[in-house]
Structure 1
Amino acid sequence: MSTCKVIVMGVSGCGKSLIGTRLAERLGVPFFDADDFHSPANVAKMASGVPLTDADRSGWLAELAERVRVEQGGLVLACSALKRAYRERLRAGNPSLQFVYLKGDMETIWSRHCSREDHYFNGRAMLESQFLTLQEPDPEEGAITVDVAEQPHRIVARCLSALGAPGRTRES
Structure 2
Amino acid sequence: MTKKIVVLGVSGSGKSLIGKNIAEKLGYRFFDGDDFHSTANVEKMSQGIPLTDDDRKDWLAALNKLLIDNPTAVIACSGLKPEYRAMLRQGLDDVAMVYLKGSIDTIWERHQKRDDHYFKGRGMLESQFATLIEPTEEEAFVIDIAQDADAVLNQALSLLSES
Common topology (TM > 0.5):
yes
The answer to whether structure 1 residue 159 and structure 2 residue 156 are counterparts is yes
Three-state SS of the structure 1 residue aligned to 2:138 is: helix
Deviation at 1:64, TM superposition (A): 0.6
Q: TM-score, normalised by structure 1?
A: 0.91
1:1-40 superposed Cα distances (whole Å, 9 cap, x missing partner): x761110000000000110111100011011000000000
Q: TM-score, normalised by structure 2?
A: 0.96
Three-state SS of the structure 1 residue aligned to 2:142 is: strand
Q: Could you tell which deviates more after superposition, 40-49 or 132-141?
A: 132-141
Three-state SS of the structure 1 residue aligned to 2:75 is: strand
Regions of 4+ moved over 2 Å: none
What runs of 5+ residues in structure 2 fail to find an aligned partner? none
Q: Where do residues 61-80 of structure 1 align in structure 2 (5 Å cutoff)? A: 61-72=60-71, 74-80=72-78
Q: Kindly provide the amino acid, as one letter, of the partner of residue 141 in structure 2.
A: I
Shift in CA distance, 106/145, structure 1 to aligned 2, threshold 3 Å? same
Q: Where do residues 63-142 of structure 1 align in structure 2 (5 Å cutoff)? A: 63-72=62-71, 74-141=72-139
Q: Where do residues 15-34 of structure 1 align in structure 2 (5 Å cutoff)? A: 15-34=14-33
Cα distance in 2 between the residues matched to 1:114 and 1:13: 9
What runs of 5+ residues in structure 1 fail to find an aligned partner? 166-172
What count of residue pairs does the alignment treat as equivalent? 162
1:12 corresponds to: 11
133, 147, 150: which is aligned to 2:147?
150
1:90-113 superposed Cα distances (whole Å, 9 cap, x missing partner): 111121101100000000000000
Percent of aligned positions with the same letter in both sequences? 54
